[in-house]
Amino acid sequence: MGRMLGLTLAYLAHLAACTLGSERQQHQVQHGPCSYTFILPEMEHCQRQKNLEVSNTLQGDSPAQVKSAASQTTLGRTQKNRSSRQEIKLESLESATENNTLWLQKLENFIQENVRSGMEELKRTAVHTQTAAMLEMGTNLLSQSAEQTRKLTDVETQVLNQTSRLEIQLLEYSLFASRLEKRILLQTQEIARLSDKNSFLEERLSALEARYGTEVQGLQSEKQQLWELMQRQGRLVGQLQGELGSATLNNTLLQRQQAQLADRVEQLLALVNHCNEISHMPRQEPPRFRDCAEIRHSGETASGVYSIRLTNSTRSIKVFCDMETRGGGWTVFQHRRNGSVDFHRGWKDYKLGFGEPSGEHWLGNDIVHKMTRSGEYSLHVRLKDRDGNEAYSHYQRFYIEGEERNYSLHVEGFSGTAGRTNSMAHSGTQFSTKDRDNDRCTCKCAQLASGGWWFEACGPSNLNGVYYPSSSSVVRYNGIKWYYWKGPNLRVTMATMMVRPANF
């Protein structure tokens, strides 16, 4: 575009030089965004006569005919001068017009070439733009096609996997159906065989019924005779039971008389011993201890079996005293170590106690009640698992009530290493055995969990359950349990419960 403007300016300068500095009439042409200005020849100084005819050519003018010969002669010279000047001017105009025509042709050719090149450039730019847009659209389409292909591939993979699983399941179902068909066939054959055998047995039964009909009638008569004989024997047995009752009563009377005689013999022997005493000095009675704590205070430091006498009691009791744990002085009332003693017992055994103090034993609920109600006592529970790990639970205050309250448990002040939470039943829980159910469960915990214990609702503890060997790996509900130490998988090899005064 700048080159076109330069050529236009050069052309205008050339026109200005050709007009010899005179003012010329300008003509402006607008072509698209470009404008072209042309300087045309001046015609205003040429006087236009009425009789002057202007032709379409630029070669010359044809003069009008003269009416008279005189005037033609007069004006001959003037027209000759004017025609010479007009011819010169026409020649200059023709040369200028030719030059202008050539310049216009060149300018037109130049404009056409520039317009053509610009149009070609625009076309190429448009083609490139369209090509880039089409390439971008093609790229997007390819990306979308690839994404759709990937999604179709994923869906196809999923469909193939699902189809494979369905085929596998169908194959499994087919195999299962085949096995079922075989089993049904076998069962059908077995039913046919049993049906044949049943028919055979029915035939034999019919034959036997026909054969032994008379024998059955004879047996029925014998049965009637035996029934009558049994009635007579029953009456005889009733008489014998009455006689046995009277004999038992007589035996009881004899046993009482024998006991009275034995007491009198003991009294007589005591009198004889008293009369035969040589020394009249009073005998020194051995010291009496009400629990192992007093024995420990007396100077005994060895753990073992000792005799104690409870408050307001004349009976001596053998107990095992632990003189080592936490300063000693503990009276042991429960001990398990090898399963040699059966703890699945009734109410009476747990009331009076069973086992030996030196081994596995239960001291007795009556003794524990009398001991713990005579003062303020603490409870200490020691446990050991099959891996040799030991733990304990300590209760600062412990006692149980009497039989009239079903030996209700009372504990408080828990501490120890056998779990962060107390595994013992709550205070107020009553004691239960297999023949006396006092728990708070519709089931009988003493029968399900085994042993006698303070079962609240089959609760988290039972140290009197079945003793299973340490080699057993099966978790059993009725075993020894202290839940909050090691949960239901606890297999205890040793469990000990013992008491001593809280102010020891």
The answer to whether residues 37 and 14 touch, using CB atoms and an 8 Å cutoff, is no
* Lowest model confidence (mean pLDDT) among 69-78, 126-135, 205-214, 235-244: 69-78
Considering only residues 407 and 114, tell me which one the structure prediction assigns the higher pLDDT. 407
Q: How far is CA 135 from CA 124, 126, 132, 401, in A?
A: 16, 14, 5, 98
pLDDT at 472: 66
What is the rounded (10 degree) CA torsion for 182, 184, 190, 191?
A: -160
Q: Give pLDDT tens digits for 166-207.
A: 888 888 888 888 888 888 888 888 888 888 887 888 888 777
* Lowest model confidence (mean pLDDT) among 16-25, 250-259, 361-370: 16-25
| Cα 390 from Cα 252, distance rounded (Å) | 54
Is 448 domain-assigned? yes
| Cα 452 from Cα 333, distance rounded (Å) | 14
Nearest-5° Cα angle at 94, 90 to 95: 120
Is 101 domain-assigned? no
Do 251 and 368 fall within a single domain?
A: no
pLDDT at 324: 94
The answer to whether residues 42 and 22 touch, using CB atoms and an 8 Å cutoff, is yes
Phi then psi for 349, rounded to 5 degrees? -65, -40
Do 250 and 318 fall within a single domain?
A: no
Helix (H, G, I), strand (E, B) or coil at 251: helix
Do 239 and 142 fall within a single domain?
A: yes
| Cα 363 from Cα 355, distance rounded (Å) | 8
Query: Does residue 360 register a pLDDT over 50?
Result: yes
| Cα 38 from Cα 19, distance rounded (Å) | 12
Query: Does residue 247 register a pLDDT over 60?
Result: yes
What is the rounded (10 degree) CA torsion for 452, 455, 460, 466?
A: 20
Considering only residues 173 and 391, tell me which one the structure prediction assigns the higher pLDDT. 391
Is 104 domain-assigned? no
Give the best-scoring range by mean pLDDT among 157-166, 199-208, 286-295, 427-436: 427-436
| Distant-in-sequence, close-in-space partners of 11: CB < 8 Å, separation ≥ 6 | 103, 107
Largest separation between any pair of C-alpha atoms in the chain: 224
Do 241 and 304 fall within a single domain?
A: no
Which whole number is the average pLDDT over 90-102? 83
Is 222 domain-assigned? yes
Query: Does residue 277 register a pLDDT over 60?
Result: no
Is 153 domain-assigned? yes
Is 348 domain-assigned? yes
DSSP one-letter string for 305-363:
EEEEE-TT---EEEEEEE-SGGGS-EEEEEEESSS-S-----HHHHHH-EE-TTSSEE-
Q: Please, which residues bridge with residue 435 across strands?
A: none
pLDDT at 73: 62
Q: Give pLDDT tens digits for 114-138.
A: 777 777 888 888 888 888 888 888 8
Which whole number is the average pLDDT over 487-496? 82
The answer to whether residues 424 and 461 touch, using CB atoms and an 8 Å cutoff, is yes
Do 353 and 431 fall within a single domain?
A: yes
pLDDT at 27: 59
| Distant-in-sequence, close-in-space partners of 474: CB < 8 Å, separation ≥ 6 | 468
| Cα 397 from Cα 383, distance rounded (Å) | 19
| Cα 321 from Cα 299, distance rounded (Å) | 13
Is 229 domain-assigned? yes
Do 210 and 308 fall within a single domain?
A: no
| Cα 476 from Cα 496, distance rounded (Å) | 21
How many domains is the chain partitioned into structurally? Answer: 2
CATH number for the domain harbouring residue 340: 3.90.215.10
Query: Does residue 467 register a pLDDT over 80?
Result: yes
Tell me which residue range forms the domain holding 132. Answer: 112-261
| Cα 458 from Cα 434, distance rounded (Å) | 13
Do 343 and 403 fall within a single domain?
A: yes
Domain termination residue (choose one: 243, 261, 279):
261
Confidence band of 60 (pLDDT split at 50, 70, 90):
very low
Do 332 and 455 fall within a single domain?
A: yes
Do 307 and 211 fall within a single domain?
A: no
18 burial class (0-12, 13-18, 19+ CB within 10 angstroms)?
A: middle
- What is the pTM (predicted TM-score) of this model? 0.47
Do 318 and 219 fall within a single domain?
A: no
Alpha helices, H only, 212-331 = 213-275, 292-297
Of 409, 385, 376, 320, which is closest to residue 504 (Cα–Cα)? 376
412: its two tokens: 């408080």
Considering only residues 108 and 411, tell me which one the structure prediction assigns the higher pLDDT. 411
Alpha carbon distance, N-terminus to C-terminus of the chain: 121
Do 362 and 462 fall within a single domain?
A: yes
Is 423 domain-assigned? yes
Looking at every residue in the chain, the average pLDDT score rounds to 80
Query: Does residue 394 register a pLDDT over 90?
Result: yes
Do 330 and 455 fall within a single domain?
A: yes
| Cα 294 from Cα 297, distance rounded (Å) | 5
